Structure 1
Amino acid sequence: MPDFVSDKHLFHNPVEFALSKIGGTYKMPILWRVKDKAWRYSELSNSIPHISDRMLSKNLKELLEDGFITKEIFPEVPPRTEYNITERGRKAIEIITVLRNYGLNLMKDFGIEEK
């Protein structure tokens, strides 16, 4: 496959492109959480170990821009914001599930116990 450019970045293959959209430390854990129900910002922040507010905001913004999640703001006092998965996000969950299972099996192969 020939190289291609997206968002001013040169990609050499589709796997690299896909990982740029859902890869990294926090995007997959965020998607994994919102796959079954809507989550509020504070719930996500409290449930993902070691994530800073800056990193959570950055990753949510990127997932929103790329169409993996939606953001709904409820006109209440104080305002309530919820994040939900989209159809594109659900398709990513299929891949994340395969990667998760592979990772768990690889951990066993290396003698690492699941916590």
Structure 2
Amino acid sequence: MTTYNIGVEATMDIIGGKWKTIILCHLRHGMMRTGELRRAIPAITQKMLTQQLRELENDGIVHREVYEQVPPRVEYSLTERGESLNQILSMLCTWGEENIDERRACGEDIQLVHRDDVALAPR
């Protein structure tokens, strides 16, 4: 039996860690191939990306679609359960962007490569 002391523990059990939330934020905008995710998250290793995607898939948050072709094409998307996280993920992105703006206003030299509110090109 798993016991949580507060509901957020159950959430963090699924989406916690350094990479999962970042992966999910990218997948909110639509289906992505492994290579696209690697380019979108340059600091993640291939091994870690694969591990995190598998964990999210096992938890029912991400769907993995394999196309039988040479070379094989694999695409990832959010499941309905994963899409239920969109509001939380949007709020996290907004908070982070506002935090960056505040830090810049205090003189910190900080760069944001992509603002989440900018629409991404459809895939």
The reply to whether TM is greater than 0.5 is yes
Q: 2:36 aligns with which of 37, 43, 67?
A: 43
Q: 1:96 aligns with which of 89, 94, 119?
A: 89
Unaligned runs of 5+ in 2: 113-123
How far did 1:107 drift? 3.5
Moved more, 85-94 or 99-108: 99-108
Moved more, 94-103 or 81-90: 94-103
How far did 1:114 drift? 5.1
**Amino acid in structure 1 at the alignment position of 2:81:** R
1:63 and 2:17 are equivalent in the alignment:
no
How far did 1:26 drift? 1.0
TM-score by structure 2 length?
0.77
TM-score by structure 1 length?
0.82
Moved more, 101-110 or 88-97: 101-110
Aligned to 1:20: 13
3-state SS in 2 of match to 1:76: coil
**Amino acid in structure 2 at the alignment position of 1:25:** K
How far did 1:90 drift? 1.0
Q: How many residues align?
A: 108
The whole-number CA distance in structure 1 between the counterparts of 2:14 and 2:94 is 20
How far did 1:34 drift? 1.5
**Percent pairwise identity:** 32
Q: Is the Cα–Cα contact under 8 Å of residues 104 and 114 in structure 1 kept in the other structure?
A: no
RMSD of aligned residue pairs (Cα, Å): 1.8
The whole-number CA distance in structure 2 between the counterparts of 1:34 and 1:109 is 27
3-state SS in 1 of match to 2:85: helix
3-state SS in 2 of match to 1:51: coil
Which one scores higher on RCO, CA 8 angstroms, separation ≥ 6? 2
1:80 and 2:73 are equivalent in the alignment:
yes
